[in-house]
Amino acid sequence: MATPRLRKAARTDARFLGDMLVEALNWAPSRSIARVDALADPVVARYIEGWKRPGDAGMVAVDAAGTPIGACWYRLFPEHSPGFGFVAPGVPELTLGVAGVWRAQGIGRELLRAVLVQARRNGHTRISLSVDRANFAAKLYVAEGFVVVRRNENSMVMVRILS
């Protein structure tokens, strides 16, 4: 397979970000949440609803034919309506998804690194996320400098300082 290239996420990527949000939810082969069911949940749908709002940013990985294969993006949530990985007002929350056949090839890491640079350039000093404790992506986040700031039975909230 040819090396994918990255581009900035655009307003027209909203549907694809929804696909990648579902991929992120279905991180294990044993998980199979249908797109329609996932996006019917307003707590989940808010990660893409109204994309691209002021403050939203991200990157999309595309294959040699230009077909999107993965995405990483962030958005800000208000304190009165926090996301799963909310830590403080003004700290964007990150989402990362890669199409199944493209996983474990370094694409998620490339997307993550590019979005961290993007967030820093946009003036953010921290970024957060929520990840299931058993998700193999948690190891990627630790390797990329994220630290656990809160745990519950099934998930962790992690933060990365952007310096």
| pLDDT at 72 > cutoff 80 | yes
Q: What is the per-residue pLDDT across 92-128, written as a single tens digit (0 to 9) for each?
A: 999 999 997 888 888 999 999 999 999 999 999 999 9
Q: Who wins on pLDDT, 12 or 105?
A: 12
CB 122 within 8 A of CB 58: no
Instruction: Quote the pLDDT of residue 27.
Output: 75
Q: Who wins on pLDDT, 118 or 28?
A: 118
Q: What's the chain's length in residues? A: 163
Q: Who wins on pLDDT, 52 or 1?
A: 52
Report how far residue 65's alpha carbon sits from residue 75's, in angstroms, rounded to the nearest whole number: 28
Instruction: Quote the pLDDT of residue 29.
Output: 65
Domains of the chain: 5-161 (3.40.630.30)
